[in-house]
Amino acid sequence: MALTIAVCIKPVPDSEYYNKITIDPVTKRLNRDGIPTVINSMDKNAIEAALRLREKHGGRVLAFSMAPDTAIENLKRVLAMGVDEAYLCSDRVLGGADTWATSYTLYKAIEKTGPVDLVIMGNQTEDGGTAQVPSQLGEWMGVPHLANVIALDYEDGGMVVKTKADRGTIRYSLKLPAVLAVTRDCNEPRIPSVMDILKVGKKPMRILRAQDLDLNPDFIGIKGSPTQAGEIYSPDMSRKSEALVGDPDEIALRILDELRKAGISIG
Amino acid sequence: MDLENCRGIMVYCEIDVCGIIDNSLELIGHANTLKEKMEHYPEVTAVIIGSDVGSLITVAARHGADRVIMMDNPRYRVYRPDLYSDALAAAAEKYRPEILLVGASLSGEEIGPTVAMKLHTGMAAHCVELKIRDDGQFVQVVPAFGGKVLGDILCPGFRPQMASMKAGMVSKRIFEGKVAEIESFDPDVRGFGDRLQVIETIPETRKRVSLSNAELVVTGGFGIGTQEGWDKLEHMAELLHGVSTCTRPALDAGWTDKEETMVGTSGVAIKPKVYLGFGVSGAAHHTCGIKGAGLIISVNRDANAPIFEVSDFKVVSDWEAIVNAITARLEATSAVCPDPDRA
Ligand SMILES: Cc1cc2nc3c(=O)[nH]c(=O)nc-3n(C[C@H](O)[C@H](O)[C@H](O)COP(=O)(O)OP(=O)(O)OC[C@H]3O[C@@H](n4cnc5c(N)ncnc54)[C@H](O)[C@@H]3O)c2cc1C
Ligand SMILES: Cc1cc2nc3c(=O)[nH]c(=O)nc-3n(C[C@H](O)[C@H](O)[C@H](O)COP(=O)(O)OP(=O)(O)OC[C@H]3O[C@@H](n4cnc5c(N)ncnc54)[C@H](O)[C@@H]3O)c2cc1C
């Protein structure tokens, strides 16, 4: 059976630049100026997993993202990787969503574009990083869902999945439709070639506004989010940073001395 | 869930072959700290889901549970996220806690948000701090951008207010002789039925390194550079009776396979008496896991390495020179008495 697979993509600030993120002391807003936006790393694993299933079993891969219009650039990259169609849910009223409202909006967008057999997502983002959206999307859809997926395959009309557990691994079988969240152990995402990038222009990409989605206004954006964001701050972790100097042996003695003073017993 | 008639703090107890995991016991302890700041001094309820787990009641009580809800049924013998989530959601619906805490373990990360959806409530993930404000509001502090930023999360309009917290963020508390009220609860939960099946559970055979009681932690970063270098660092850590831990790039390099010793956002938070770091740059992803350390000493050849800012003592040097010198000192001592176990 050919599979229709949805992948969910979140554009995030590039983690290489996290040291440049500051908080404006007056507005208390996050300042991300000059920090490029990239596709969340594990979402590339999700795309790769979906493409491999399509290559093996046939079908289509559709990408969904809830983000501002600028995310078009990120979705072009997603299409270059080999995804067939991309949908961007972008509307001011969707902003400020927590995971509950985010998963609802993604659910409605996927429902709108037609039934899918499988949803593959990243296990966790690099910015908010709650790892909550996949299970919550699975609940909205009312289908089996698993997180921490490290291997997956489609067999006999269902998925066979391996997940990383706290003390080992678990193998599951799931009937479709299902939602799976994959980790970076799942695969090595491909890098698009120039040819792939040239094909992007021909692929369908659509922006979905709130009115296109039959949304319950009480379930979206800040209003629909059970959690509210309060103050944000940068934790001050600085310590005295006293330099230990001398030749290596002198430094070694100083370190051992400090260990003893801190209550570590050394022979 | 709405706000009506909600009371107390519920903690989900996760179980492994050894019993209730530390992560959950820590949360039961912390729930007691929270309740002491709450006006009506509510109950702390532990929920135990499993098969043949009656012996764990006393463990939960000793760690601070006023009441234990036992969901003891053979259907919970093998972990299945859908069944466990249904069970916990049913317990929350029946006992209506104001606050519901879950460990941010891999399974907690599956169960927590699923339960939050079922109950139509909010959940704050991977909290680094949970507190009751003077006005009584429960405040959940979450990290973002790998710990570079912290934000307060509130959930004033929905119950229970759900939060997850990683192991090691708060300490266990012991309530000697405490006896808990016990209730059995056995709702008919079915999860996704045969739409989700466990084929097999493959337990880890390797013994895991425990970091919860480690007094001295020696961390190696990517700056260690080679496997030989790593082995040398581990040797020194052994001589010091310390536990060696790693950063993510050091783990990715394959110098160690003990992934449970990776410190930081995607690994563990530690609070040893001393953290001794070599060749670690000090990314927020890593340092947010060491802020509980009593003393931080770091060695890096780059005088501008961010790790120095968060260190009590810094050594600007090649790591190997320092490790060699410490090792030589320790070997000189232990040469007199080579087997520390006999001493
Ligand atoms: C400082 C800060 C703290 C926050 N803390 C919380 C909190 O504690 N609780 C809470 O409910 N919300 C919180 N949020 C809001 C949360 O980050 C957003 O709801 C976000 O849109 C989705 O959550 P996530 O990034 O944690 O995703 P995760 O659940 O970590 O994402 C997993 C996967 O879901 C998919 N996905 C997630 N978001 C999108 C999207 N917008 N479009 C397409 N696919 C997506 C991707 O495949 C992703 O890999 C916080 C936000 C900030 C800035
Ligand atoms: C979503 C996400 C989650 C992450 N989670 C984690 C996590 O949980 N834990 C974690 O650790 N990282 C995590 N990371 C990675 C993190 O961002 C950093 O990349 C990582 O912590 C850096 O590790 P490092 O200090 O070992 O390596 P590097 O940053 O490469 O630093 C190596 C340091 O060694 C020094 N050095 C080199 N040679 C020598 C020498 N001969 N002598 C002395 N010093 C030397 C260099 O000056 C440098 O400062 C995460 C990243 C992302 C994106």
Is B315 touching A (CB cutoff 8 A)? Answer: yes
Angle at A229 between CA A70 and CA A29, to 5 degrees: 55
Out of A166, A178, A237, closest to residue B16 by CB: A166
Does B335 reach chain A within 8 Å, measured CB to CB?
Answer: no
Q: Which two tokens stand for residue A122?
A: 């990243």
Whether residue A154 is contained in a domain is answered as: yes
Protein residue with its CA nearest to atom 31 in ligand 2: B281
Task: Count H helices and E strands in chain A, helices first.
Answer: 6, 15
Contact B149 A234 (CB under 8 A): yes
Q: Do B144 and A127 touch (CB under 8 A)?
A: yes
Query: How much distance in Å is there from the Cα of B228 to the middle of ligand 2?
Result: 19
User: In the numeric block, which tokens belong to residue B289?
Assistant: 């896991």
Contact residues, B window 24-53, toward A, CB-based 8 Å cutoff: none
- Is the Cα torsion angle B112, B114, B119, B121 positive or negative in sign? positive
Can you give the pLDDT at residue B334?
Answer: 67
Domain with CATH 3.40.50.1220 in chain B: 216-336
β-bridge pairing B138-144 and B149-154: antiparallel
What CA–CA distance (Å, rounded) separates A93 from A70? Answer: 16
The CB of B279 under 6 Å from ligand 2? The reply is yes
* Closest ligand 2 atom to Cα of B282: 25
Cα(B61)–Cα(B11) distance, rounded to whole angstroms?
A: 12
Does some domain include residue A238?
Answer: no
For residue B288, which residues of chain A lie inside 8 Å, CB to CB?
Answer: 235
End-to-end CA distance of chain B: 60
CB-based contact B103:B166 (threshold 8 Å): yes
**Residue B132 contacts A, CB cutoff 8 Å:** no
Per-residue confidence band for A202, with pLDDT thresholds at 50, 70 and 90: very high
Q: How far is B62 from chain A (nearest CA, A)?
A: 24
Q: B1 CA to middle of ligand 2, Å?
A: 43
CA distance A254 to chain B (A): 10
* Nearest-angstrom CA–CA distance, A33 and A31: 6
Alpha-carbon distance of B176 to A50, in angstroms, equals 53
Measured CA to CA, the distance from residue B83 to residue B78 in angstroms comes to 10
CB contact under 8 A, A230 and B208: no
Q: With the C-alpha atoms ordered B131, A221, B7, B186, is the resulting torsion angle positive or negative? A: negative
Could you tell me if B130 and B30 are in contact, meaning their C-beta atoms sit under 8 angstroms apart?
A: yes
A229 beta partners: B153
The arithmetic mean of pLDDT across residues B206-213, rounded, is 83
Nearest CA in chain B to A40: B145
CB B49 within 8 A of CB B14: no
Residue A241 lies in a domain: no
What range defines the domain where residue A212 resides? Answer: 3-219
Q: Which atom of ligand 2 is nearest to the CA of B250?
A: 26
Residue A251 has a pLDDT of: 97
Give the CATH architecture of domain B9-195: 3-Layer(aba) Sandwich (3.40)
Question: Residue A220 carries which DSSP code?
Answer: S
First to last CA, chain A: 67
ipTM of the shown complex: 0.94
Q: Which helix (H) or strand (E) holds A251?
A: helix A248-261
C-alpha B203/C-alpha A170 separation (Å) is: 8
Å from CA of B223 to ligand 2 middle: 8
Q: Encode pLDDT of A239-251 as tens digits.
A: 999 999 999 999 9
A30-39, A172-181, B15-24, B159-168: least confidently modelled range: A30-39
How many CA atoms does the CB half-sphere of B238 hold within 13 Å?
12
Q: Report the residue from B123, B287, B322 with minimal CB separation from A251.
A: B322
pLDDT > 70? residue A183: yes
**Structural domain contains residue A198:** yes
Q: What is the mean pLDDT of residues B307-316?
A: 97
- For the domain that residue A161 is a member of, what is the CATH number? 3.40.50.620
**pLDDT for res B343:** 46
The strand pair at A30-31 and A3-8 is best described as unpaired
Amino acid at A4: T
Please give the average per-residue pLDDT across B8-32, as a whole number: 96
Q: What is the mean pLDDT of chain B?
A: 94
Task: Report the DSSP beta bridge partners of residue B299.
Answer: B278, B315
Does the C-beta of B15 come closer than 6 Å to ligand 2?
Answer: no
Max avg pLDDT among A187-191, B2-6, B166-170: A187-191
- pLDDT tier at B339 (50, 70, 90 boundaries)? low
Domain count for chain A? 1
Provide CATH 3.40.50.620 ranges for chain B.
9-195
On whether any CB of chain A is under 8 Å from the CB of B317, the answer is: yes
Q: What's the mean pLDDT in A50-71?
A: 97
Residues of B in contact with A40 (CB under 8 A): none
pLDDT class for B337, splitting at 50, 70, 90? low
Average pLDDT over residues A59-75: 97
B136, B34 contact by CB (below 8 A): no
Closest ligand to the CA of A131: 1
Within a domain: A10: yes
Mean pLDDT of A112-120: 95
The answer to whether residue A95 is domain-embedded is yes
CB-CB neighbors (< 8 A) of B17 in chain A = 167
- Residues of B whose CB is below 8 A from A243: 313-316
The stretch A211-235 carries a mean pLDDT of 94
Taking the C-alpha atoms of residue B144 and residue A205, their distance in angstroms, rounded to an integer, is 30
Average pLDDT over residues A105-115: 95
pLDDT value, residue B267: 87
From CA B157, how far away is CA A228, in angstroms rounded?
9
Tell me the fold of B216-336.
Rossmann fold (3.40.50)
Ligand nearest to the CA of A122: 1
**Nearest Cα to A149, choosing from A188, A186, A174?**
A186
The answer to whether the Cβ–Cβ distance between B324 and A248 falls below 8 Å is yes
Contact B314 A241 (CB under 8 A): yes
Chain A residues lying within 8 Å of B287, measured CB to CB: 237
Rounded Cα–Cα distance for residues A119 and B106 (Å): 20
Give A195→chain B minimum CA distance, Å: 31
What is the C-alpha to C-alpha distance for residues A255 and A261, in angstroms, rounded to an integer?
Answer: 10
The whole-number pLDDT of residue B335 equals: 59
Give the distance (Å) from ligand 1 centre to CA of residue A130. 6
B195 touches chain A (CB under 8 A): yes
Judge: B154–A228 Cβ closer than 8 Å, yes or no.
yes
- Alpha-carbon distance B24 to nearest alpha carbon in chain A (angstroms): 14
Atom 12, ligand 2: which residue's CA is nearest?
B248
Token pair for A106: 């993604």
Using a CB-CB distance cutoff of 8 angstroms, which residues of chain A are in contact with residue B208?
167
Examine residue A35 and state whether it is found in any structural domain, yes or no.
yes
Task: Check CB contact under 8 Å for A129 and B125.
Answer: yes
Interface check for B120 against chain A (CB to CB < 8 A): the answer is yes
pTM listed for this prediction? 0.93
Tell me, yes or no, whether A53 lies in a domain: yes
The answer to whether A132 contacts B125, with C-beta atoms less than 8 Å apart, is yes
- Whether the Cβ atoms of residue B34 and residue B97 lie closer than 8 Å to each other: no
C-alpha B12: how far from its chain's center? Answer: 14
pLDDT of residue B7: 93
CB pairs under 8 A between A and B: 265
The pair of structure tokens assigned to A97 is 């969503």
Confidence band of B338 (pLDDT split at 50, 70, 90): low
Contact call for residues A84 and A28 (beta carbons, < 8 A): no
pLDDT of B150 reads 92
Q: For residue B146, what pLDDT is reported? A: 81
d(CA B308, CA A241): 6
What is the position in ligand 2's atom list of the atom closest to the CA of B246? 11
A164-168 long-range contacts (CB < 8 A, ≥24 apart) are: A164/B106, A165/B79, A165/B106, A165/B107, A165/B201, A166/B14, A166/B16, A166/B21, A166/B105, A166/B106, A166/B107, A167/B16, A167/B17, A167/B203, A167/B204, A167/B208, A168/B201, A168/B202, A168/B203, A168/B204
Residue B50 has pLDDT above 90, yes or no: yes
